[in-house]
Amino acid sequence: MPGNLTAALASYPVVVVEGCDGTGKTTLATSLAGQHGHTVIHSGRTPDGTDLAARYQAILATPGKLALDRSFVSELVYGPIDHGRSRLTLPAAIALTQRVAARGGVLVHLTGRPDIIAARLRARDGAAPATDRISALIRAYHNTFAILASTAAVLTIDTTTPRP
């Protein structure tokens, strides 16, 4: 992850890092922690029955600088694709996004070319989903961030494009 991106995000007290697997979320969050003192909170899929809105409200109420390595935005994307529905309503997600904005935070949307993302995943995990699945996730993230951008700042970064 380019150091200038990490430096540009350093002043945000809350950085919500989102995107499909293989886009560099953990790399960016770890860099923010190591270089700028953010506490990394990684959120995987929570058990069914969990009140996701309350869970993320509590996370966002944590004092100090936070870097969320995957969060409520992923539920809006992966929920419908993998489970037929999101367990988080759009109004609840908008309220969470408003909380990020109220704390002076930013949503970071990492994206890229499906073929390069698949190659990264194969190199890291030994396997990768089909590029059509990765493309569907990229489209879903794009659509979700288009909605949330009216509530909080969104920075979209293509992590597969070489930077000078």
Q: Taking the domains of the chain in order of start, what are their residue ranges?
A: 3-158
User: Angle 72-83/52-60 helices, nearest 10 degrees?
Assistant: 160
Q: b/e string for 38-51 if b means 16 or more Cβ within 10 A?
A: bebbebeeeeeeee
**In contact, 105 and 79? CB cutoff 8 Å:** no
Asked if residue 150 has pLDDT above 90, the reply is yes
Question: pLDDT for 12-68, tens place per residue?
Answer: 999 999 999 999 999 999 999 999 999 999 987 787 888 999 999 999 999 999 999
Question: pLDDT for 87-123, tens place per residue?
Answer: 999 999 999 999 999 999 999 999 999 999 999 999 9
The confidence score (pLDDT) of residue 1 equals: 47
For residues 149 and 164, what is the distance between their CA atoms, to the nearest angstrom?
27
Claim: this prediction has a pTM higher than 0.85:
yes
Asked if residue 163 has pLDDT above 90, the reply is no
Q: Which of 83, 74, 94, 138 is nearest to 112 (CA)?
A: 138
Cβ-Cβ contacts under 8 Å for 111 (sequence gap 6 or more): 19, 20, 23, 138, 141, 142, 156, 157, 158, 159
Which range among 47-56, 79-88, 155-164 shows the weakest confidence by mean pLDDT?
155-164
Task: Write the DSSP assignment of 56-80 as a string of letters.
Answer: HHHHHTS-S-EEEES-HHHHHHHHH
Q: Tell me the CATH number of domain 3-158, given options 3.40.50.2000, 3.40.50.300, 3.40.50.720, 3.30.420.40.
A: 3.40.50.300
